Amino acid sequence: MSAAETLAERGRAAPILTVEGVSKKFGGVTAVHDVSLDVPAGAIVSVIGPNGAGKTSLLNMVSGFYRPDTGRIALEGHDITSLRPSQVAARGIARTFQNIALFSGLTVLDNLMLGRHVHMQTGVLASALYWGPALREEVAHRERCEEIIDFLKLQDLRKQQTGALSYGLRKRVELGRALALEPKVLLLDEPMGGMNQDEKEDMARYVLDANLERKITVVLIEHDMGVVMDISDHVVVLDRGRRIGAGTPEEVQRNPDVIQAYLGTSRGGAQA
């Protein structure tokens, strides 16, 4: 199957995540206004726009950190609009943050283990005593985390404290913690922000591998237009809280509203 055929097939997939007319105000400022989007199962969908366009606020509503003032959010057809972040995570939505949110005093492995919390079944007493079911569960979760460590090529760092790692490696660990949740939908808020070119290429490859090999649907906020246009199946553009464009990367680059608001103009057309 060609790349074009694969993209068309993804576009026909039923939406796993649906956002219908969501809005969010903070005092007198409207961060998001009547935004809708469908995320096809198995796709990589990028949300782009200038600073202050409402991108992170949109992800915060999807992940339960903000509750929309209006509108509806559904995962696999089930309404999750009013769920708390822990409940959204338990339904299968994981996220990373623009500002790294790791526990710097814990090791790489321990941070990944924290990502398994929604799957842990044993009670507090059993976990404290660390015997029987709790021990078996600990071993099983550790095996899953070790597999993610191998996937992200962090084998030599599993016992290092994350606070001692470089910025790019900490970003990779945060991706690993999100993957440890075994999400259906992965929300990534500027996963390549602050990285050098080599680190960006590594991260882009891991995002693609998570999408293709692990069948995880990805919603991505990213300012690097080269990355967005290379890895996205679909792009949604926000400006001042409103959706001003959507389509394939090629369609978005030709959209005059997008060119004016975000991508910039030149005599040759859009600048990616």
Query: Domain tally for the chain?
Result: 2
Among 181, 205, 236, give the residue marking a domain's end.
181
Mean pLDDT of 75-90: 96
For residue 197, what pLDDT is reported?
Answer: 92
- State the pLDDT confidence band at 262, using cuts at 50, 70 and 90: low
Poorest-pLDDT segment among 134-143, 191-200, 218-227: 134-143
The residue range of the domain holding 61 is 3-92+183-270
Confirm whether 11 is domain-assigned. Answer: yes
Buried/exposed code over 213-232 (b: 16+ C-beta within 10 A; e: otherwise): eeebbbbbbbebbebbbebb
- State the pLDDT confidence band at 11, using cuts at 50, 70 and 90: low
Q: Comparing 140 with 234, which gets the higher pLDDT?
A: 234
Asked if 258 and 252 touch (Cβ cutoff 8 Å), the reply is yes
Same domain, 159 and 111: yes
Residue of 183, 187, 160, 48 whose CA lies nearest to 102:
160
Mean pLDDT of 120-148: 67
Cβ-based neighbours of 41, under 8 Å, separated by 6 or more: 13, 14, 15, 16, 217
Same domain, 10 and 87: yes
Confirm whether 99 is domain-assigned. Answer: no
The mean pLDDT of the chain is 87
Q: With pLDDT > 90 as the criterion, what percentage of the chain qualifies?
A: 71
What single letter denotes the amino acid at residue 201?
E
pTM, whole model, 2 decimals?
A: 0.85
Same domain, 192 and 78: yes
CA 7, CA 50: separation in Å to the nearest integer? 26
Among 155, 181, 207, give the residue marking a domain's end.
181
Same domain, 214 and 79: yes
Strand 269-270 vs strand 265-266: parallel, antiparallel, or unpaired? antiparallel
Same domain, 33 and 79: yes
